[in-house]
């Protein structure tokens, strides 16, 4: 049975990269890799070191953007982890918290998050208070909705220069795709 309309166009980033995004690398870089991710997602945990390899390979030619896409129906700690990363952003420590959350995926309950915050030199009580009150929930919902509008159905989902990357996301493939689309 033929569908009434077929869309062969690749999915595009519905919300362009902007100043509210978490960005590593030069804001004006010609190559952009956007990840919609979930801190408790095992596949995102596997992608984490690959993204680091891509960043290392491309250096200042790449800007990397992370957007929250917590899959709370399967990952019970994902939303609180995202809240903790956003809370750390107030102290300009988003990327440090981002990294430590991915490096400790098996320990993401609130006590673990407080311990990770203390290890980063953050005020653990303040971080947990913001997590528990959902102080950054609107930001996370905005990221999530932008992902849905962009065709994100799971994590990790990558966009290369605004186009959803539906292929493998190993470092070699991502570097190849990024440089081919520059």
Confirm if 144 and 83 have CB atoms less than 8 A apart: no
Q: Quote the number of domains for the chain.
A: 1
Q: CATH number of the domain that 81 lies in? A: 3.40.30.10
- Answer whether residue 12 is part of any domain: no
Instruction: Output the pLDDT for position 99.
Output: 98
Distances (CA, A) of 87 to 98, 110, 133, 167, 179: 11, 13, 11, 33, 34
- Answer whether residue 6 is part of any domain: no
Give the tens place of pLDDT for each residue, 141-176. Answer: 999 999 999 999 999 999 999 999 999 999 999 999
What is the spatial order of strands in the sheet that 62-68 belongs to? 22-24, 62-68, 31-37, 157-160, 163-165
Percent over 90 (pLDDT), the chain: 93
- Answer whether residue 128 is part of any domain: yes
Which residues span the domain enclosing 35? 22-176
Give the tens place of pLDDT for each residue, 42-63. Answer: 999 999 999 999 999 999 999 9
- Answer whether residue 11 is part of any domain: no
Q: Is the pLDDT of residue 6 over 50?
A: no
Alpha-carbon Rg for the chain, nearest whole angstrom, is: 17
- Answer whether residue 88 is part of any domain: yes
- Answer whether residue 17 is part of any domain: no
Say what the pTM is: 0.94
- Answer whether residue 74 is part of any domain: yes
For 67-80, what is the mean pLDDT?
Answer: 97
Q: Is the pLDDT of residue 13 over 60?
A: yes
- Answer whether residue 2 is part of any domain: no
> Please, which pLDDT band fits residue 137 given cuts at 50, 70 and 90?
very high
């Amino acid at each position: 049975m033929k569908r009434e309309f077929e869309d062969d166009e690749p999915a595009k980033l519905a919300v362009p990269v902007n100043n509210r995004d978490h960005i590593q690398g030069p804001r004006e870089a010609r190559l952009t890799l956007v990840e919609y991710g979930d801190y408790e997602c095992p596949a995102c945990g596997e992608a984490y070191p690959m993204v680091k390899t891509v960043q290392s390979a491309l250096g200042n030619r790449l800007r990397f953007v992370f957007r929250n896409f917590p899959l709370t129906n399967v990952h019970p700690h994902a939303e609180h982890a995202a809240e903790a990363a956003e809370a750390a952003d107030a102290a300009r420590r988003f990327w440090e918290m981002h990294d430590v959350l991915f490096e400790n995926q098996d320990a993401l309950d609130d006590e673990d998050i407080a311990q990770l915050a203390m290890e980063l030199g953050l005020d653990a009580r303040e971080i947990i208070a913001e997590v528990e009150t959902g102080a950054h929930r609107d930001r996370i919902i905005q990221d999530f909705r932008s992902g849905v509008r962009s065709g994100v159905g799971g994590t990790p989902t990558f966009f290369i220069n605004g186009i959803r990357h539906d292929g493998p996301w190993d470092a070699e493939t991502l570097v190849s795709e990024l440089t081919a689309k520059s």
